[in-house]
Chains A and B, each alone.
Chain A
Amino acid sequence: DGGITQSPKYLFRKEGQNVTLSCEQNLNHDAMYWYRQDPGQGLRLIYYSQIVNDFQKGDIAEGYSVSREKKESFPLTVTSAQKNPTAFYLCASSIRGRGEQFFGPGTRLTVL
Chain B
Amino acid sequence: AQSVTQPDIHITVSEGASLELRCNYSYGATPYLFWYVQSPGQGLQLLLKYFSGDTLVQGIKGFEAEFKRSQSSFNLRKPSVHWSDAAEYFCAVGATNNAGNMLTFGGGTRLMVKP
Q: A100 near B43 (CB under 8 angstroms)?
A: no
In the bound complex, residues from chain B placing their C-beta under 8 Å from that of A43 are 44, 90, 105
Interfacial residues of chain A within 29-66, with CB under 8 A of chain B in the complex: 31, 40-43, 45, 48, 50, 56
A91 to chain B, nearest CB (A): 8
A residues lining the B interface (CB < 8 Å): 4, 6, 31, 40-43, 45, 48, 50, 56, 88, 90, 92, 94-106, 108
A106 contacts which of B42, B46, B99, B106 (Cβ < 8 Å)? B42
A28 to chain B, nearest CB (A): 15
Q: A98 near B46 (CB under 8 angstroms)?
A: no
**Residue B63 is within 8 A (CB to CB) of chain A in the complex:** no
Q: A106 near B41 (CB under 8 angstroms)?
A: yes
In the bound complex, residues from chain A placing their C-beta under 8 Å from that of B107 are 40-42
CA distance A99 to B41 in the complex (A): 25
- B98 (CB) vs chain A CBs: closest residue: A50
Q: B49 near A96 (CB under 8 angstroms)?
A: no
B35 to chain A, nearest CB (A): 10
Interfacial residues of chain B within 57-97, with CB under 8 A of chain A in the complex: 90, 94, 96
- B36 (CB) vs chain A CBs: closest residue: A103
Q: A105 near B100 (CB under 8 angstroms)?
A: no
B98 to chain A, nearest CB (A): 9
CA distance A42 to B45 in the complex (A): 14
**Residue B17 is within 8 A (CB to CB) of chain A in the complex:** no
